[in-house]
C-alpha cells in the first residue's frame, strides 16, 4: 500500500436560493464544516480506486471522479463547486525513487534499442560500401587484366630473347610453338 498526500484546490460558492439556510445551519464556516470534510472523503474514496501510477497517468479521470463525488456531497448543503484542481500527488521517497529508477531503466532501454538500430544501419552501410568496393575492384581488374596479360607475354618473350643463344632448333614437333626469327626490317 502506497501512502499518497494529495494537495488540491477548490473554488465554490453558496447557491443564491440557499444563502439563508446555509448561514443559518452552518454559520460563516461552510468551509470547515462541509467543504474540507467532503473534499477529504471524496479524495480518499476516489484515489483508493487507482494505483499510484494510475493517479499520475490518469490524472484527469481521477479529477473528474473526485468532482462528481464532491458535487454529490456538497450540493445537498446548498453549495456549488466552481472549480477543482489536483495540485500535486506526493508519494513516499521510496516510491519516488522506484518511479525514477523505472523511468531511467525505460530510457536506457529506449537508448539501447536506438543504438541497436544505429549499429544495424551502420553495419548495412559497411556491407554496401564493401560490395561497392568489390564491384569497383572487379571492374578495374577486368579492365587491367588484358593489358597485364600482354605485358607478361612481352616480358616472357624478352626473357626468352635474352636466353637464346642464336641457334635454331634442329627438330620441332607439330605442337611446339615456332621460335621467333628476326626478319630484316624493310627500309
| CATH 3.30.479.30 corresponds to the domain 4-91 | yes
Confidence at residue 182, expressed as pLDDT on a 0 to 100 scale: 57
Confidence at residue 176, expressed as pLDDT on a 0 to 100 scale: 67
Ramachandran category for residue 15: left, alpha or beta (phi over 0 → left; psi -120 to 50 → alpha): beta
Q: Is 5 helix (H, G, I), strand (E, B) or coil?
A: strand
Cα(96)–Cα(31) distance, rounded to whole angstroms?
32
Q: Which residue has the cell 537508448?
A: 111
The domains of the chain are located at 4-91, 93-158
Query: Which residues of the chain have a pLDDT value below 70?
Result: 1-2, 169-172, 176-187
Confidence at residue 114, expressed as pLDDT on a 0 to 100 scale: 96
Residue 88: strand pairing partners: 7
C-alpha 67: how far from chain center: 37
Cα(2)–Cα(94) distance, rounded to whole angstroms?
10
Cα(70)–Cα(66) distance, rounded to whole angstroms?
6
Q: Using a pLDDT cut of 70, give the percent of the chain over it.
A: 89
Q: Are 7 and 88 in contact (CB under 8 A)?
A: yes
* pTM of the predicted model as reported, rounded to 2 decimal places: 0.53
Closest CA to 60 of 146, 116, 68, 137: 68
Alpha-helical regions (H) of the chain: 19-26, 30, 36-47, 52-57, 59-74, 93-163
Instruction: For residue 69, give Cα distances in angstroms to 37, 81, 122.
Output: 12, 11, 57
Over residues 134-165, the pLDDT tens digits come to 999 999 888 888 888 888 888 888 888 888 77
Amino acid at each position: 500500500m502506497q501512502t499518497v498526500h494529495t494537495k488540491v484546490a477548490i473554488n465554490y460558492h453558496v447557491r443564491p436560493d440557499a444563502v439563508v439556510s446555509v448561514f443559518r445551519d452552518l454559520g460563516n464556516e461552510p468551509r470547515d464544516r462541509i467543504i474540507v470534510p467532503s473534499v477529504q472523503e471524496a479524495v480518499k474514496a476516489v484515489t483508493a480506486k487507482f494505483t499510484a501510477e494510475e493517479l499520475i497517468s490518469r490524472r484527469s479521470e481521477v479529477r473528474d471522479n473526485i468532482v462528481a463525488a464532491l458535487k454529490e456531497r456538497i450540493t445537498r448543503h446548498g453549495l456549488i463547486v466552481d472549480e477543482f484542481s489536483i495540485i500535486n500527488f506526493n508519494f513516499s521517497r521510496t516510491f519516488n525513487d522506484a518511479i525514477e529508477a523505472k523511468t531511467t531503466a525505460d530510457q536506457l532501454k529506449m537508448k539501447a534499442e536506438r543504438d541497436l538500430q544505429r549499429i544495424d544501419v551502420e553495419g548495412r552501410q559497411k556491407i554496401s560500401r564493401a560490395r561497392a568496393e568489390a564491384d569497383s575492384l572487379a571492374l578495374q581488374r577486368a579492365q587491367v587484366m588484358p593489358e597485364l596479360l600482354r605485358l607478361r607475354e612481352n616480358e616472357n618473350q624478352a626473357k626468352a630473347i635474352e636466353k637464346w643463344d642464336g641457334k635454331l632448333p634442329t627438330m620441332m614437333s607439330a605442337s611446339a610453338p615456332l621460335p621467333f626469327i628476326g626478319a630484316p626490317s624493310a627500309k
